[in-house]
Amino acid sequence: MILAVGLSHRTAPVEVRERLATGADALATVLARLGARSELTEVMFVSTCNRVEVIALAPDDRVDAALSAIREELARHGGLAYDAELAAYLYDIRGDEAVRHIFRVAASLDSMVLGEPQILGQVKDAYDAAVAAGALRGKLARCVSRSFAAAKRVRTETGIGAGTVSISSVAVDLARRVFGDLSDHAVLLLGAGEMAEAAARSLGRGARALRVCNRSFDRAAALAGEMHASAVPWEGLEAELVQADVVVASTASRTPVVTRDMVKRAMRSRRGRTLLFTDIAVPRNVEPAVHTIDNVYVYNVDDLEQEVARGMNARRAELAAAEKIVTEEVTQFLAWSRGMEVQPTVVAMRAKVRAVFFAELERSMGRLKHLEGDRAALAQMLDSAVNKFLHAPTTRLKARAADKSDAAELAAAVRFLFDLEDLPAAADPEQTERANQPQAPDTDEDDDRTVN
């Protein structure tokens, strides 16, 4: 069964989310711990500014144990006591609903900013990391891969991504509402990643001065070059706080990089001029206590959620069309998944019938030596007979599986009637089953589209 366990902006405040957030440097360790749990067959770890989630596959008879294992590892990762500190914020989603959840997350239908494009890239990065760690390889890998195709359809077939609403653009819009025209004000981008780049693009050339400060000066210089801005060294951060009117913070630091003492010193030199921080990082880059300083204002990602809501009306009009696409794609995946559950029975049935037919051919050839030269034609005839004979039971069993009807009972009946004691292992989800399908007149094909 596919499971999703985690917390998001809908269930937990930023001070809880930042405890569990994971950077690229720690992701391998988290995946190794999760992958080592015997309760989990496959696993993936997603960490963004608005959600921390474990996506997993577990045997149907070990779901409760799997859920406990995931909760334990999340609590361990965040240094939290599960019962006292974490339980109230976690959700767990199972089975078909978990599949739908994965597809909706990838399509940005569960994001704070509906339709924002960053989440798809973040889920793809999590997918790549899990595949590289050997933690994602079968049915769950197929599920997540198919969610990318659904997200692409949503992006191209609806207007869900219309406009420029994003956390970064909202941060810039907030600065404009506070200061009005930014042409007389200086903006400092603290960080040089995707969020900082998005904020810079939202600013355009609207600020009097745009400067970029990052631990890696080379990255700061690269972004500054693209945005016609200036790069400043990390050690010059405190001096930059004296000059800047707006600071957009989005570094990957695990601890605050802007402290209350640092800002207090800067404010003495600013002679009362207002300083606005929009902290769009998780974990937060700006100490919460900075907000207590006179003429200093700090907004974090949770504060910006209200601002995001202002620009969502046009996108919400596209939500029904997006949800319809997700439903179509989820239905296709679930049909494929259920078909794979009866596949071992189909393979065993076909193998046994074929073995009986060809055993009879070999027995008969002893009396029909004059047909030895036609052995290949006779074998082809038997293959065709097997295909036609098993076409109806094969397609009907798969159809029942796709409809989530009584496929399990029918598969059990087939195994009983054909005396199929030893079933082959289920096929790898990344391979097709066409080699085991009737060639004619069967036209039932699996969806094997790949996502690049």
Token representation of residue 272 = 């009362």
DSSP, collapsed to helix, strand or coil, labels residue 279 as: strand
b (16+ CB within 10 A) / e for 124-146: bebbebbeebebbbbbbbbbbbb
Residue 213: its H or E element: strand 209-213
Counting beta carbons within 10 angstroms of the beta carbon of residue 264, is it exposed (0 to 12), middle (13 to 18) or buried (19 or more)? middle
Q: Of the residues 12, 49, 74, 266, which is catalytic?
A: 49
Q: What is the largest CA-CA distance in the chain?
A: 109
Token representation of residue 246 = 């707006």
Token representation of residue 304 = 């910006």
**Is-catalytic flag, 49?**
yes
DSSP, collapsed to helix, strand or coil, labels residue 433 as: coil
Give the span between the Cα atoms of 46 and 55, in whole angstroms: 8
Counting beta carbons within 10 angstroms of the beta carbon of residue 247, is it exposed (0 to 12), middle (13 to 18) or buried (19 or more)? buried
Which residue's structure tokens are 């990838």?
106
Q: How far is CA 227 from the centre of its chain?
A: 30
Which is it for strands 51-57 and 209-213: parallel, antiparallel or unpaired?
unpaired
DSSP-derived secondary structure for 115-162: T-SHHHHHHHHHHHHHHHTTS--SHHHHHHHHHHHHHHHHHHHS-TT-
- CB atoms closer than 10 angstroms to residue 71: 18
Could you list the active site residues?
Answer: 49
